[in-house]
Amino acid sequence: MHICLVIIAIGMGACSSTRNTTPPPQEPSAPLAKPKNVILLIGDGMGLPQITGAMYMNNNQTVFERFKSIGFHKSHSSDNLVTESAAGATAFASGVKTYNGAVGVNAQKQSVPTLIEMAEQKQMATGMVASSSITHATPAAFIAHVNSREEKEGIALGFLNTPIDIFIGGGMDHFNRRKTDERNLVDELTAKGYQITSFVDKDINNLDITTKKNIGYFTANEEPLPVASGRDYLIPASEKAIDFLDERSPNGFFLMIEGSQIDWGGHANDANYVVSEMHEFEKVVAATLDFAERDKTTLVIVTGDHETGGFAVQPGSKLNDIKVAFTTKSHTAIMIPVFADGPGAEAFRGIYENTAIFDKIKEALELK
Ligand SMILES: [Zn+2]
């Protein structure tokens, strides 16, 4: 009785439960289901403020309501609480915290293996789609190893070193109008058996994905346009990449899709730019979830590398008419949400370092 009185002082629940001799049913701790495929979608510069702004500019609806497994990652790099995209993507691609600007190398500037390289080693199919140049910091960190994100032509060489099955993005100049050497990487990739085409030859909707060859498709010579200026390829490119990889992957596939320009809207402190890029990216997420729900063997993960702009939905905002302020033209250090769905999605609940996203994907796909 004396003990019970003490427990009452702490809390009624504890005392009353001591009277009940039947323990509450335990959740079975079954091992997490293993996916066959992983699709990682990265909204560059996408934090909760961008998601919130896009939601209130879309009748209070967001694609992220479709996810049940939600977490947060700590985005800081090895040398700065405020990361940038190269260090952020290297954390996702290789599981190391590195210095700002590093692409596929650790803080000691040593190459670190990437998810695409590891998936290729396991005979999986791989791909990348971006609404920036394909040599931009985020896709670069999945396939190249250079000391600085500014080494665009060095990054392009990464596409010759790893037999990625499909890549779609801008930046063709870094392949066939090179300044640092005389090489023509479009010719070299073609000689290696790639089907290389571009916006000059055909619309993305006419891209032939029935080929047995690996595919490269360039969407621009330099950086692609913003959505608001007419760029419209990210959704069809993502759908084609998924269909192509699904078709050729008895061992599964890994695909990275980047909504690259949410970040650029943040740097420009342009709310319409941010929201229009968000709405396109959300449609890509929706199409990916639609595929995964049909397929049932695909783990979908969506996150950002960092927030950009210190974006805030301000007092005076109304539904579909928000007032926005920015605190900076650069990035911020706010924690970034992670959304997961499909086999193994539960592993992405909680709060963890950005490098844990690599660890969890590696574990899910049993990569070495
Ligand atoms: Zn940025």
Residue 85 known to be catalytic: yes
Residue 73 in tokens: 């990652």
**Which pLDDT belongs to residue 27?**
58
Percent of residues, the chain, with pLDDT higher than 70: 92
The Cα–Cα gap between 333 and 361 comes to: 23
Q: Distance from the CA of 353 to the center of ligand 1, in angstroms?
A: 19
Residue 29 confidence class, pLDDT cut points 50, 70, 90: low
Q: Output phi, psi for 339, to 5 deg.
A: -115, 135
Q: Distance from the CA of 136 to the center of ligand 1, in angstroms?
A: 11
pLDDT in tens, 43-79: 999 999 999 999 999 999 999 999 999 999 999 999 9
**Which pLDDT belongs to residue 278?**
98
pLDDT at 337 over 80: yes
How many other β-carbons are positioned within 10 Å of the β-carbon of residue 350?
A: 13
For the segment 328-333, the average pLDDT, to the nearest whole number, is: 98
Q: Distance from the CA of 82 to the center of ligand 1, in angstroms?
A: 11
pTM score, whole prediction: 0.92
How many other β-carbons are positioned within 10 Å of the β-carbon of residue 129?
A: 30
pLDDT at 90 over 80: yes
pLDDT in tens, 203-240: 999 999 999 999 999 999 999 999 999 999 999 999 99
Catalytic hit among 69, 75, 77, 85: 85
For the segment 301-308, the average pLDDT, to the nearest whole number, is: 98
Beta strands in the chain (DSSP E): 37-43, 69-74, 125-133, 166-170, 194-198, 214-218, 253-259, 298-304, 307-308, 312-313, 324-325, 331-332, 336-341, 350-353
Most distant pair of Cα atoms in the chain: their distance: 88
CA dihedral 206, 212, 218, 219 (to 10 degrees): 30
Indicate the helix (H) or strand (E) that contains 117. Answer: helix 115-121
Tell me the average pLDDT of the chain.
93
Residue 142 in tokens: 């999945």
Q: Distance from the CA of 304 to the center of ligand 1, in angstroms?
A: 11
pLDDT in tens, 98-151: 999 999 999 999 999 999 999 999 999 999 999 999 999 999 999 999 999 999
Residue given tokens 């010719």 in the structure block: 187
**298 has which bridge partners?**
37
Q: Distance from the CA of 333 to the center of ligand 1, in angstroms?
A: 12
**217 has which bridge partners?**
168, 197
User: Contact 225/232 with Cβ under 8 angstroms?
Assistant: no
Selected residue with higher pLDDT from 6 and 133: 133
Closest CA to 39 of 257, 250, 336, 344: 257
pLDDT at 2 over 70: no
User: Contact 367/358 with Cβ under 8 angstroms?
Assistant: no
**Which pLDDT belongs to residue 249?**
81
The torsion region of residue 110 among left (phi > 0), alpha (psi -120 to 50) and beta comes to: beta
Residue 47 in tokens: 């934090």
The Cα–Cα gap between 4 and 9 comes to: 9
Q: Distance from the CA of 131 to the center of ligand 1, in angstroms?
A: 14
Closest CA to 118 of 302, 346, 364: 364
For the segment 28-38, the average pLDDT, to the nearest whole number, is: 84
Environment class of 28 (CB within 10 Å of its CB; exposed 0-12, middle 13-18, buried 19+): exposed
Q: Distance from the CA of 84 to the center of ligand 1, in angstroms?
A: 6
Q: Distance from the CA of 262 to the center of ligand 1, in angstroms?
A: 9
Residue 7 in tokens: 């427990």
**125 has which bridge partners?**
253
How many other β-carbons are positioned within 10 Å of the β-carbon of residue 74?
A: 18
Q: Output phi, psi for 264, to 5 deg.
A: -70, -35
Residue 3 confidence class, pLDDT cut points 50, 70, 90: very low
In angstroms, how far is CA 182 from the centroid of its own chain? 33
**Looking at 20-29, 105-114, 157-166, 297-306, which range is the least confident one?**
20-29
Angle at which helix 234-247 crosses helix 271-295, to 10 degrees, equals 20
Residue 20 confidence class, pLDDT cut points 50, 70, 90: low
Q: Distance from the CA of 284 to the center of ligand 1, in angstroms?
A: 20
Selected residue with higher pLDDT from 339 and 6: 339
**Which pLDDT belongs to residue 83?**
98
